[in-house]
Amino acid sequence: VTQLHYQSYKTLAVKEGNKILGEAKEQFNIVNALCVHRVGDLNIGETAVWVGVNASHRDAAFNACRYVIDEIKTRVPIWKKEIYVDGDSGWLEGAG
């Protein structure tokens, strides 16, 4: 794999992403949570997803981060395509 390409259905992605962040705030009793998922072309090694959590306790923050990233990967309409050395490419299925 030489490059990754992400596409999203932005309106629904933002709506579902905000819903997930709200769930994390309630479930883990955290102060705040943010998530950024890049779209477009990314080189290998570049950050595709960033999750940040503000919480009173470290365990709550780590658990909320895991929850957010896992839910983003399964529920938010963002698709990833791998571009290979030979120029071929393929869309990945499922959580990725």
Q: What is the CATH number of domain 3-91?
A: 3.90.1170.40
Identify the pLDDT of residue 94.
62
Percent of the chain residues past pLDDT 70, beyond the cut: 97
| Among the listed residues 40, 35, 36, 37, the one whose alpha carbon sits nearest the alpha carbon of residue 7 | 40
Place of tokens 């102060």: 31
Question: Amino acid identity, residue 91?
Answer: W
> Is the predicted pLDDT of residue 39 greater than 90, yes or no?
yes
- Residue 13, pLDDT above cutoff 90: yes
Q: Mean pLDDT in the chain?
A: 96
Each domain of the chain, given as residue ranges in start order, spans 3-91
For the stretch 40-86, pLDDT in tens is 999 999 999 999 999 999 999 999 999 999 999 999 999 999 999 99
Spatial contact of 77 and 55, defined as CB atoms under 8 Å apart: no
What's the confidence (pLDDT) of residue 95?
53
CA distance 56 to 61: 8
Q: What is the pTM of this model?
A: 0.90
